[in-house]
Amino acid sequence: MITGLQCKIPGTDVIDLMVKQISFHKERALVYKNQMEVLAGAGIEMTNMTGDPKAQAIASEKDHTKNAKELEFMLKYIDPTETYILSHYDLAELGVLKD
């Protein structure tokens, strides 16, 4: 018996999903890095304001970089000949479930 919603996915598909999600996180990190540079170049200082765009961009860039590195590490250990049982959380982490 299987408890909860889980999907059996071939290792090759898991690898493809991980590669796509790594690319997504790297692209988003670059967007936020560029955003920080634009704000810095424009001389915008909003560090004392609620919702500081620089602080938000820094946090988002760090989050996406961390997520890409985590997936890159795990990708090394995915066996393409195995079948993986993925949970709702796993599918979300791999970018299958998006808002």
Mean pLDDT across the chain, nearest whole number?
88
Bridge pairing between strands 6-10 and 83-87: antiparallel
Tell me what the mean pLDDT of segment 47-59 comes to: 74
**Could you read off the pLDDT of 12-32 as tens digits, one per residue?**
999 999 999 999 999 999 999
Distance separating alpha carbons of residues 54 and 58, to the nearest angstrom: 6
Identify the three-state secondary structure at position 49: coil
Query: What end-to-end distance do the CA atoms of the chain give, in Å?
Result: 30
Distance separating alpha carbons of residues 5 and 69, to the nearest angstrom: 27
**Could you read off the pLDDT of 72-88 as tens digits, one per residue?**
999 999 999 999 999 88
* 44 token code pair: 């915008």
Position 49 scores a pLDDT of 58
